[in-house]
Amino acid sequence: MELTDAHEPLCFCGSKLRMAYISPVKFSAPYAPKDEVWFCQLCGKYFMKTWQADDIDYFTEKADYYAVLDELRPALRFCFTCKGPRKSYHPIYLGRPVCPQCFFVNEWDDFYKRREIEKKFPSDAEIRDFMAAERALENWAYSEAFEKYTPFAEAGFSLAQYRLGEMYETGPVEIRDFNLALEWYKKAAQKRLPQAFSRIGKLYSENHSVGINLIEAYKWLNLGAYFGDFACVSLRDSISSKMSLAEVLEAQEGASVALRKVWGQFDRRKKICDNLEKVYGELEGTYRYAEILDGRSLKTVLLDYQESEKRYRTLSEDRYAPAMARFGEKLATGDGLEKNSKEAVKMVVTAISRGWLPSVEFAWNQIGNDQDFKIDREWVKARFFDEINNCNARAMYIWGMINFRGNGIPVDLKEAHKWLNLAQYFGARIPRPNPMEMIEREITFDQLLETLGKAQEWLNDKQKKVKAIAKANKSLKERVLTGGEGRWFNLGELFECGCEGFLRHIILAYGCFDLALKAGNQAATTHLEFLARILTSARTAAAVKIAEEFVISGEISS
């Protein structure tokens, strides 16, 4: 088992994350290390560090694991404060998923620190009354809930204010008052209760009693996303599809102004921008900040298309290829700005000419989707192969998937397998389900042998220029010719999966497992049975014969 940890846990804002504690609930696989909760002091966001499995061996249940840092979700199963069990609908306190009692205690503590309340801790009776209100609401005892929540709401407790809004909006018909609900939600939102923002957005977008106002709805949802409400993100996207670009830009400007005026002390945008430029340099830091503003790198953020366009334009004038590529994509698709295919082509072509591979992929896809996007497809293909000939694993993977899906060219499964195999050889991670496994079940044995031979031939042609290939070939030959009997099982595993420095070659894998079984390793039986279902029994004898030739020469035939 191999563990790949995050080298230096960094937040999207460029600041170093600090570990808060080890998670009491395990979300990763049983054999993975313990999960952890991390915190960013600059932007105030919380993250969960979990481990994802890779290169799973379903026969031995062994796998490699790599660390993944994701923003802490509201559906967290344990309370951030007390570590006790928590329901997915429980509240979020300043980015921390908590249980209702911890929410109340945490907010009380903040009131005390701001000298808005004299007592340092709530009394047992006050906690009991608040939790009684929570239980009453859960049991639909609205009269009791109103009675117990009202004193807390009037004292400024945001969860109580939110609950009153909730009852006025969704309670019995005789007590419903959508304007009062909106009023209480806004009071809770002023104290940055994330759920309140999504409720306000829904009222403005759906409720005719309040008055449909999509611009106002988008504004509140944009603010809610900034304060960490994931529900606001999907609602914001849904509402924006019903609005014109001018309306979206107006709503974003309104959200930006409101953030400065109402929550100015929590407006960390300038600090984030400055920190990114400090950590990554002026060009890349500005580019990363522009990606944040247009929602490309993060969703729970205040979107600002006008500011991101301004920064992309500035970077494009400095000929910064990633920014030109992203700006070209936005111009080509009309993503957050007016569509301009002519300017988009100019930006994308320049980015391609400066060796930016994502622009090559985008141009290839866009040519078939947009008649106004006029770039010569053969020129774009030549740029792909410029990168491929430089052993760019990502370019090989993209070109393999283009052949696999028939994107702009006829489907060619043999070419797809060849380039995907080479991409993996040079270190690309092939996502599951592995397209090569699907191809191997579709093509014939002779076609498989042909595509494997072409992949090896390409490597042999390049080995004089690329030392890593020559070194891998030499190492394989020495291993085959001088290793002990145990080498066959290990080689079989490497050829079966493929990895950096090894082609996926299930024909040789079968032959190696056959040799391992003859040497007495019974673990090879399961592998042989699995591979026989792909190769079919008629061709397993041929695989054994090819492996016998490999054993003699130590070289993969092309």
CA distance 282 to 414: 45
Spell out the long-range contacts of 242-245 with Cβ–Cβ below 8 A and sequence spacing 24 or more.
242/214, 243/214, 243/215, 243/218, 245/334, 245/336, 245/337, 245/338
Cis amide prior to 433 (ω within 30 degrees): yes
pLDDT tens-digit readout, 150-173: 999 999 999 999 999 999 999 888
Please report, for the chain, how many H helices and E strands are present, in that order: 25, 7
Residue 178 has pLDDT above 70, yes or no: yes
Q: Which fold has domain 98-266?
A: 1.25.40
φ, ψ (nearest 5 deg) of residue 241? -70, -15
Q: Are 18 and 289 in contact, with CB atoms under 8 Å apart? A: no
In what side-by-side order are the strands of the sheet with 3-4? Answer: 3-4, 62-71, 46-57, 36-40, 17-22
Q: Are 556 and 550 in contact, with CB atoms under 8 Å apart? A: yes
- ∠ CA 510-513-517, nearest 5°, is 135
pLDDT tens-digit readout, 439-493: 988 988 889 989 999 999 999 888 888 888 888 888 888 887 887 777 888 888 8
CA distance 261 to 257: 6
Domain ranges of the chain: 3-71, 98-266, 268-389, 452-553
Please give the mean pLDDT across all residues of the chain: 89
What integer pLDDT is reported at residue 519 of this predicted model? 85
Residue 317 has pLDDT above 90, yes or no: yes
Higher pLDDT: 45 or 550? It is: 45
C-beta neighbour count of 454 within 10 angstroms: 18
Residue closest to 379 by CA, chosen among 415, 348, 423, 416? 348
Supply the pTM of this predicted model: 0.84
305, two tokens: 């298309």
Confidence of residue 58 (pLDDT cuts 50, 70, 90): very low
Lowest mean pLDDT of 32-36, 248-252, 318-322, 345-349, name the range. Answer: 32-36
Q: What is the CATH number of domain 268-389?
A: 1.25.40.10
List Cβ neighbours of 106 (8 Å cut-off, separation of 6 or more): 81, 93, 94, 96, 98
Same fold, 98-266 and 268-389: yes
What integer pLDDT is reported at residue 54 of this predicted model? 65
What integer pLDDT is reported at residue 56 of this predicted model? 55
C-beta neighbour count of 9 within 10 angstroms: 18
Confidence of residue 5 (pLDDT cuts 50, 70, 90): low
